[in-house]
Amino acid sequence: MDHARSRREWKRAQRSIPGGVNSPVRAYRSVGGTPPFIASARGARIRDVDGNEYIDYVGSWGPMILGHAHPKVLAAVRAAMKLGTSFGAPTPRESDLAEAVRRAMPSMEMLRLVSSGTEATMSALRLARGVTGRARILKFDGCYHGHSDGLLVGAGSGVATLGIPGSPGVPKAMTDLTIVAPYNDLAATRAAFERWGGEIAAVIVEPVAGNMGCVPPVPGFLAGLRTLCDEFGALLVFDEVMTGFRVARGGAQKLYRVKPDLTTLGKIVGGGLPAAAYGGRRDLMRRIAPEGDIYQAGTLSGNPLAVAAGLETLRLLEAKGVYEALTTTAKTLASGLETLARERGIPFCTASVGGMFGFFFHPGPVESFAQAQQSDAARFRSFFASMLESGIYLAPSPYEAAFVSLAHRPRDVDRTLEAARKAFARSIRAR
């Protein structure tokens, strides 16, 4: 593949943008090489400025569940755009979107629209602290909940990819209020509650971890968190920015039958445009201003373009067989990759939940961030580079989940597995 124009764009970007990117993991620091600069996308494929086409398993980091540039979503956005792009005032369609979310996730009795997942989690935790009168938050190692102060401790995603333990600029006083336990470890979580129980406002968790790779909860973990929160008077917050409408129409909370007090959403709820939400029990959400005393605001919250894209996306996801199709595609791909690797004696394991999947160069199982960090980084880099040159677009990090869409077809999976066959063979020769 020719990447000459991407290389020129990369040099140009670095003169004006820190690291040449507007979100750190895009910089390809952990895999090397020049990131492709994307010109367009449609369906399951993206095309870079050099004209190279790739089968896309990043999907804008999750929201493109229908595939890129879905004609009905584009039509909905065009129709909304003709009426104006932003009003800073209430619109009927904001209520339409809130009601659509409530129908799918009954635990969200009331919700507030915001513009990003970071904003949603930050606001939900402010609410939890305000309601409980407590200051501490318990999170899990390798789970990423946005870049707000206090949540970068033990974070996955780009923080893990770049090897950054936290971040300068975050006051120690904030990080001191964050307790970190190993994901999937109920005993360690109980020990934390035994020590700080009366000070913990909330537990926040990715119900399926997607920022250390794809790591599902072990049986009983989420239910155990619900029990601990009830026992110690803390709130349970499910960060479903990634899993909401991705693993099931009702999110991971429906799939695993555990009801959180608060939920955060993003990605799919905006249909690929900047939108997110947080919500939960009515008595909690009524504490949000102007109805209550806990303040949160946003000029572009409920932006009409994002609301239109989100509404149309959620409508299309109501079709029969949608989640069965996503699950089948992800499972077929994940199991195919694992079979190919094991046939060549390469330590490798996979996981998939609904329309998300992940893999590790590790014999498995991987149930925690510590185990994810033991995977073979050199093999991942070799595999990633080979797949990219074969036209398969994966996240440039071993600590990110991958995503399928309804636009991915069996021929896309077959082509991906054929590329993987060659990539595994090259990784053996490279060693």
Instruction: Cite the active site residues.
Output: 144, 239, 267
Q: HSE (CB half, 13 Å, CA atoms) of 431?
A: 16
Quick one: how far is CA 50 from the chain centroid? Answer: 28
Question: What Å distances lie between residue 367 and 207, 374, 403, 404, CA to CA?
Answer: 13, 12, 19, 22
Longest dimension (CA), the chain: 64
**Bond before 347 cis per omega within 30 degrees:** no
Q: Tokens 């250390």 — which residue?
A: 212
CA–CA separation, 298 and 317 (whole Å) = 28
User: Is 331 exposed, middle or buried (CB count within 10 Å of its CB: 0-12, 13-18, 19+)?
Assistant: middle
Q: Are 410 and 330 in contact (CB under 8 A)?
A: no
Q: Where are the alpha helices (DSSP H) in 241-368?
A: 251-256, 282-285, 304-316, 322-343
